[in-house]
Amino acid sequence: MADRRPNVGVPGIHRYDNAAGGWGALKAVAGALSDQATVIEGGKTLLRANQPEGFDCPGCAWPDPKHTSSFEFCENGAKAVAWEATSKRATPEVFAAHTVTELLTWSDHALEDLGRLTHPMAYDRATDRYLPIAWDDAFARTADALRTLDHPDQAEFYASGRASNEAAFLFQLLGRRVGTNNFPDCSNMCHEPTSVGLPDSIGMGKGSVTLEDFDHADLILSFGHNPGTNHPRMMTTLRDASRRGATILAFNPLKERALEKFAAPQDPVEMATLSSTPIASAYYQVAIGGDALAVQGIMKAVLALDAESQGTVLDRAFIAEHTEGFEMVKAVVEGLTWDEIEAGSGLSRGQIEEAARAYAGAKATILCYGMGLTQHRNSSSTVQQLVNLLLLKGNIGRPGAGICPLRGHSNVQGDRTVGIWEKPSAAFLDSMDRVFAFKSPRDHGHTVVETIAAMEAGQTRVFVGLGGNFAVAAPDPTRTFAAMRKVGLSVHVATKLNRTHLLHGAESLLLPCLGRTEIDVQAGGRQAVTVEDSMSMVHASRGLNAPASDQLKSEPAIIAGIGAALFGPDDVVDWPGLAGNYDKIRDLIEAVFPEAFADYNARVRQPGGFRLPVPPSERVWKTPSGKAQFLVHRHDGQDARRGQADVLLLTTLRSHDQYNTTIYGQNDRYRGVFGRRDVVFAHPDDIAARGLKAGDRIDLTAAFDDTGRRAVRGFTLVERDIPRGCLAAYYPEANVLVALEDHDRRSGTPAYKSVPVRLAAHAG
């Protein structure tokens, strides 16, 4: 008889039966540190991350507990720090040894593994190399290009979410001073459905909970996020909740180990006894893109329970006083049939009713969600379904309850708060105009996807990137890379080399900057920056390491350098003065946002910082009617392409050894993948139905693509417990399959997590 165990003999694929965390995590930290020969100033860099006197961990946006006095262990935070504080250097000599054409053949890992950029560099067409350039010349070239635009919208100002509030504020000031609202940012690929969906529902595009709320919730719903890898410090919170008896329900097509069981590396008993804590008490393997219908199904079942129990389940007083639209939503979800719900969600009626009973019986519920929810064609509306569910029982604006979007980059939320937004509100622009003696542009600017279209059309003359890896993070590299090459001048403010930097048009500049871990000294002395976490807490971050090179400038200093070169010494903005003392930048932020940032400089100096106003947490709804809104359309969230013969939906994921486009290593420990990333996870029956078996080499081609170019070839099939009709592969390798047009209709967020594909044996 054939061996029935999954994936037997497939190279690099092993079973992983342990809990997440534990000794494996400790070992991985040691490995990350030695591999990068990380410099740890006085042994303190790691110990001082997320401490009152240290730097904010660049790993994720999960808040740190107010009262921590000791280092909170986090494997992937340690990797992020090790990657930045490495002793490897990409010096001018390294660039002299390799042409750009050659570097383009290297892997994403190899490019960044060259180490920290040390000098400003300019692309030289004659030698096809990056050569050193003086800072003043780099600023002058950028200023010239911006000065000679026919129209300000020929410039794009891209930001990745690691930039501090100070850098981000100066960046938007520079762009608006130039005259454009073209601020595509990583948020456009990430939580934009949150920024677009939540304001209509609750009057604010951010989460409503605090970390303390997790101590009071008796039910935590987890939709589409993988905290063991992407928000590891959240595991402490989930573990504590589980231990004190709170129920955790996971909705995810893949069984993620950390959501099943977790061993806390700080817990001497768990470490000594090799025991662990169960996390989710039930795991619902929703079909890819099936969340909206799953939630509507839960609502339908909750309404039925409410009817059975003479109206004791819903919070009717809350619904009456605080909301609008309940009757409409009730009619829509009651009108859905169980057949439709089961087919759309991939869950059975029994599973949905079980989840509904847990919700109906819970006193206080927190609902957490991540990219598994936001990167589909209907995500803005799916986010609103999550709110509907919470509103039924008044689960927003009281202790232990609320909505908790897990933000991505460590300051992506703060960047939006201080003005990195292509669709700024009129109130914000008016405020800018009051503070600065120039008029901000009113026309809305480009999202990431719109920026690529503008580049493709030859409309973009200058691209300035404040961090990130724009072209690799974006969909459809075939088109996006070509579009990037049409830009006249690209200016990249970065810590490390990546592929986007190599996709030069006529001219390209690489401007090396300080990272979070590094000491930042300006004319006015040693500086701190500020960041905002997922829960609207703002706090200071101060680097501790010596800079990777004496040529590095801080991000604010680089932006101010461009501003000063462009607008001269008599400008209405005192660029050099702002770069010299970040207190002055914070004063301007306070002037533009007097309510949110009142006494900014004083409050950020208090240990732990301060919380920005979050009106929904006080049941204040800044919607046009002043009420929270139940919002729904029949079949919201259904992806019509599901269920077509042959077509599977592919979701793209992060491995445990990567940070977005930064690939630390080739392992994905908790999913049992070692030494490779060229795999596709599939249900055994979907594999068999195509006459294939685990270990076979296959091709994935984009369905509904008439170019035939969007394909991934020669990947290896891996069996996995995943719903039928669903596949998973790693980002960014699978981005070639994502069409630029395939995005959430309202927010423009690419549908990276529901990519229609066909699967066949590898041809050739």
Ligand X SMILES: Nc1nc2c(c(=O)[nH]1)N[C@H]1C(S)=C(S)[C@@H](COP(=O)(O)OP(=O)(O)OC[C@H]3O[C@@H](n4cnc5c(=O)[nH]c(N)nc54)[C@H](O)[C@@H]3O)O[C@H]1N2
Q: State in angstroms the smallest separation of the CB of 632 from Mo ion.
A: 26
Torsion angle (degrees, nearest 10) of CA 25, 372, 741, 191: -80
Q: Based on CB atoms, which residue is closest to ligand X, 169 or 223?
A: 223
Give the list of residues 6+ apart from residue 199 with CB closer than 8 angstroms, or none: 205, 622, 623
Q: Does 382 bind ligand X (CB under 6 A)?
A: no
* Residue 252 binds which of ligand X, Mo ion, none (CB < 5-8 A, kind-dependent): ligand X
12: left (phi > 0), else alpha (psi -120 to 50), else beta? left
Q: Based on CB atoms, which residue is closest to Mo ion, 408 or 732?
A: 408
Give the list of residues 6+ apart from residue 403 with CB closer than 8 angstroms, or none: 198, 202, 207, 208, 209, 366, 367, 386, 387, 390, 396
Q: Which of 20, 288, 557, 702 binds ligand X (CB under 6 A)?
A: 288
Stretch 150-169 residues interacting with ligand X (CB under 6 A): 160, 162
Query: Which contacts (CB < 8 Å, 24+ apart) does range 36-41 have?
Result: 36/82, 36/83, 36/85, 36/86, 36/87, 36/88, 37/86, 37/87, 37/88, 38/81, 38/82, 38/85, 38/86, 38/87, 39/85, 39/86, 39/87, 39/545, 39/546, 40/85, 40/545, 41/544, 41/545, 41/546
Which window, 250-258, 265-273, 275-283, 305-313, contacts ligand X (CB under 6 A)?
A: 250-258
Per-residue contact string for residues 464-493; x = within reach of ligand X by CB under 6 A: --xxxxx--x-------------------x
Q: Does 351 bind ligand X (CB under 6 A)?
A: no
Nearest to 705 by CA among 658, 743, 742, 662: 742
Q: How far apart are CA 80 and CA 32, in angstroms?
A: 9
Q: State in angstroms the smallest separation of the CB of 658 from Mo ion.
A: 12
Q: How far apart are CA 573 and CA 369, in angstroms?
A: 40
Q: Based on CB atoms, which residue is closest to ligand X, 56 or 590?
A: 56
Stretch 161-220 residues interacting with Mo ion (CB under 5 A): 190
Q: How far apart are CA 563 and CA 558, in angstroms?
A: 9
* Residue 224 binds which of ligand X, Mo ion, none (CB < 5-8 A, kind-dependent): ligand X
Q: Does 62 bind ligand X (CB under 6 A)?
A: no
37: left (phi > 0), else alpha (psi -120 to 50), else beta? left
Nearest to 61 by CA among 369, 413, 421, 374: 413
Q: How far apart are CA 322 and CA 311, in angstroms?
A: 18
Q: Based on CB atoms, which residue is closest to ligand X, 190 or 314?
A: 190
Per-residue contact string for residues 407-426; x = within reach of Mo ion by CB under 5 A: -x------------------
Q: How far apart are CA 719 and CA 13, in angstroms?
A: 10
Per-residue contact string for residues 373-412; x = within reach of Mo ion by CB under 5 A: -----------------------------------x----
Which residue's CB atom is positioned nearest to Mo ion? 408
Give the list of residues 6+ apart from residue 144 with CB closer than 8 angstroms, or none: none
Per-residue contact string for residues 648-687; x = within reach of ligand X by CB under 6 A: ---xxxx---xxxxx-------------------------
Q: Which DSSP category does 321 fall into?
A: H
Q: How many residues contact Mo ion, by CB under 5 A? A: 2
Q: How many residues contact ligand X, by CB under 6 A? A: 63
Stretch 530-559 residues interacting with ligand X (CB under 6 A): 555
Q: Based on CB atoms, which residue is closest to ligand X, 214 or 223?
A: 223
Q: Does 751 bind ligand X (CB under 6 A)?
A: no
Q: Which of 513, 529, 632, 702 binds ligand X (CB under 6 A)?
A: 513
One-letter amino acid at 634 equals R
Please report, as ranges, the residues that interact with ligand X according to CB under 6 A: 59-60, 76, 112, 160, 162, 186, 189-190, 223-226, 229-230, 251-254, 256, 286, 288-289, 291, 370-373, 375, 406, 408-409, 466-470, 473, 493-496, 498, 513, 515-516, 555, 651-654, 658-662, 731-732, 734-735, 738, 752-753
Please report, as ranges, the residues that interact with Mo ion according to CB under 5 A: 190, 408
